[in-house]
Amino acid sequence: MGTISLAIHVTAAALFVGPQILMFFAVIPATWLIEDNEKLRRQVTRVVAARFGMLAMIAIVLLVVTGVYQYLVLVPESIRRAPDRYAFSNLFDAKMTMFILSLVLIFLHTRLFARKIATLSDQLIALEDQHTAASRESAKVVAIELEQARRKSFNFSLLILAASLITLWLGVARGDPSFAWAQR
């Protein structure tokens, strides 16, 4: 059962980090090519974000469940009783800190950027549908604000990706018994 749990945990980590890499390096830059059709860009982004969110939630649940199982079943009792005697303790604490930081950053990204971008995008679409001189001027202002918000969101996403990758790397180090289970 331990090998199955580990396989699920590694798969969940791949499901959590992999889509972040794809979003950052491919999907979001690809949406930049949709310049003259905000409605299409919004629809594409909405579908991708929804599927990304679904994958992320599944991955997070699997990571927590398999992580708790592994800690309780696979980590030797001697380490669980006195974790400070082993490198495991620092690695585990650092990994959990980075994992929680990743989750907080994802939450903040949703609150600070995703909602603002959606609102501005809706405003721009509504203004573009009006076809008046005043609406065109207002649309230019909203479009500038929207692009600034998207740029900030993209930069913030780099922080999320970095925190997630560090979590992954700490997990790899923690999973190496010759290192993590070594006494201090």
Query: 1: pLDDT confidence band, cut at 50, 70 and 90?
Result: confident
C-alpha span between 72 and 52 (Å, rounded): 30
8 Å CB contact between 4 and 66:
no
φ and ψ of 183, to 5 deg: -75, 155
CB 116 within 8 A of CB 149: yes
Two structure tokens written together for 69: 């199982």
pLDDT at 109 over 90: yes
Tell me what pLDDT residue 167 has: 97
Burial 39-72 (b: 16+ CB within 10 A, else e): eebbeebeebbeeeeebbeebbebbeebbebbee
Average pLDDT taken over every residue of the chain: 93
> 4-56 pLDDT, tens per residue?
999 999 999 999 999 999 999 999 999 999 988 999 999 999 999 999 999 99
DSSP E strand stretches across the chain: none
